[in-house]
A and B are shown apart, each in its own frame.
Chain A
């Protein structure tokens, strides 16, 4: 079986986000780019499965929609342990566009399990995994916090309101994964970094697709009012303020 992990390239989560003068795009100067945290956990879990010979997982490929500038992120995925990578050479314009590109690649190269992070930490869309599955007409399971292979069949744990369900769907399928899928993201070792330089990274030109959405303006969040400090010797005052000033209890 072959696994594909779709990865997105996002600003490090501690980055202070700034915009250009017209507030129409993010100012990328000085930004440290990383693999989207949920995609990194997906990749980690895919590699853990491959490490277990009984899983029958033969290879782990990563795919990314982006320009050459995102290659360091792809190399990082290879250094962590992915066998090969595919880059669709295009700026991603929205989730629909990105998913259509990834679906085209998956149509040509067969994968049994496609893993996507539940959202990207930049656009917070939660869309790409589900869209890919619909473009391909294959099952998708969302909010997956656990995956294992039992007798050649994937068993997925998904989060539901107030609990979890242990589920299965026939392959090929898309699993849209969240926290819990792997404990800690795997870190690249020196040997992995050396090997990553020579691992195959295929560049594919995009197909023509119209995006459905467009970001026109960015805004900073409204500043919160200054914190009102309460005497630690008299914390009861807080309850009074919550009741009579904020009126929420």
Chain B
């Protein structure tokens, strides 16, 4: 038996997300008295792989294959499924990010394994195996019993603390055969964002809504994000108006994020917006309407004119960082 965790890497590097996954897998493994095997796909140095050991991966399997250079959900799920069988894994843990969403459902059908998707806590029970997950876009939570022998859990980003442990890991390089008829995704072009903190990775997010009144008013908001070392986001009307790029739209139909701190400036807080940010640990609302529903979701609030408040906040942060 084992818990298998798929740890994606980005150009040969892991992110906090990867260590969160291993920490989570290691706590699940304790619940069912077994060990953690981490799986990495793609070119990566041993010095990077070994980092997974710190969070409790006993065995680290590294797989490289030309056909896995491009994310093809069919090829990736067949490799993960093969390793899961070899490792006799009863629980498989994957991130609930774009890659996880591409791979987990295919893996589920291959292994006839039920999926608990977007879990944000450890399983509530191991017999019956019960997980806790968000439903109705955060307006409800459900206890979901996974009835199949093998279970797949996809972990919501930023929902689990890193837990360091005694490192007893070994690295194993494994060759896998990938059937080329399975890797059929062709990539013609890649459009990458440059050196910006990714919204989904950011610990701090400063977000603007229609209350910002004009795209020309964004400079202080961006500066606040910069001095805090955070990313910028926006509400749906703002991206629909073209004031900010679509990649910044957070909310039910945009990005779902769970930063430590979410500062909502000029955002009224419609249900659809809250659905995208309700996983945030702290929400700060700045709005000139004291009746705005965002204040019901926020722990800290300032009622007033954002254009006057933002510069003062920037100064206060700068003072602090001195």
Q: Interface of A with B (CB < 8 Å)?
A: 11, 13-14, 16-17, 19, 26, 37-38, 41, 94-96, 99, 118, 121-131, 133-135, 139-143, 145, 155, 158-170, 176, 178-180, 211-221, 224-225, 227-232, 235-236, 238-243, 246, 248-249
Contacts of A19 in B (CB 8 A): 140
Whether B313 pairs with A134 at a CB distance below 8 angstroms is no
Q: Is B101 an interface residue (CB 8 A)?
A: yes
Question: Can you list 27 residue pairs at the A/B interface with Cβ under 8 Å?
Answer: A11-B136, A13-B252, A19-B140, A26-B140, A127-B108, A130-B103, A134-B77, A134-B108, A139-B72, A139-B74, A155-B188, A161-B98, A164-B190, A169-B186, A180-B246, A213-B115, A213-B145, A215-B143, A218-B142, A229-B300, A229-B301, A230-B301, A232-B304, A236-B313, A238-B313, A243-B320, A248-B203
Contacts of B281 in A (CB 8 A): 248
Whether A170 pairs with B282 at a CB distance below 8 angstroms is no
Q: Is the interface of A mostly helix, strand, loop or mixed?
A: mixed
Q: Is B112 an interface residue (CB 8 A)?
A: yes
Whether A131 pairs with B106 at a CB distance below 8 angstroms is yes
* Choice from A133, A228, A239 contacting B301 with Cβ under 8 Å: A228
Q: What residue of chain B has the Cβ atom nearest to residue A223's Cβ? A: B296
CB distance from B7 to the nearest CB of A (A): 14
Q: Is B193 an interface residue (CB 8 A)?
A: yes
* Choice from B135, B144, B190, B201 contacting A213 with Cβ under 8 Å: B144
Known contacts A14-B271, A246-B282: does B302 contact A229 (CB below 8 Å)?
Answer: yes
* Choice from A13, A95, A133, A217 contacting B73 with Cβ under 8 Å: A133
The winner among B96, B108, B146, B261 for most chain A CB atoms within 10 A is B108
CA distance A239 to B317 in the complex (A): 7
Whether B115 pairs with A121 at a CB distance below 8 angstroms is no
Q: What residue of chain A has the Cβ atom nearest to residue B313's Cβ? A: A235
Q: Is B303 an interface residue (CB 8 A)?
A: yes
Contacts of B196 in A (CB 8 A): 162
Whether A170 pairs with B184 at a CB distance below 8 angstroms is yes
Q: Is B118 an interface residue (CB 8 A)?
A: yes
Whether A241 pairs with B300 at a CB distance below 8 angstroms is yes
Whether B185 pairs with A13 at a CB distance below 8 angstroms is no
CA distance A94 to B136 in the complex (A): 15
Q: Which 9 A-B pairs have the closest CB atoms?
A: A130-B105, A232-B304, A212-B114, A142-B102, A236-B316, A134-B109, A163-B192, A166-B189, A239-B316
* Choice from B112, B184, B315 contacting A169 with Cβ under 8 Å: B184
Whether A242 pairs with B282 at a CB distance below 8 angstroms is yes
Q: Is B162 an interface residue (CB 8 A)?
A: no
Contacts of B302 in A (CB 8 A): 229-232, 235, 238
CA distance A156 to B188 in the complex (A): 10
CB distance from B103 to the nearest CB of A (A): 8
Q: Beyond A179-B253, A232-B309: 13 further Cβ-contacts under 8 Å?
A: A13-B275, A130-B105, A134-B105, A142-B102, A143-B98, A179-B249, A213-B114, A214-B145, A218-B142, A219-B142, A221-B138, A227-B285, A246-B261
Contacts of B184 in A (CB 8 A): 139, 169-170
Q: Is B137 an interface residue (CB 8 A)?
A: yes
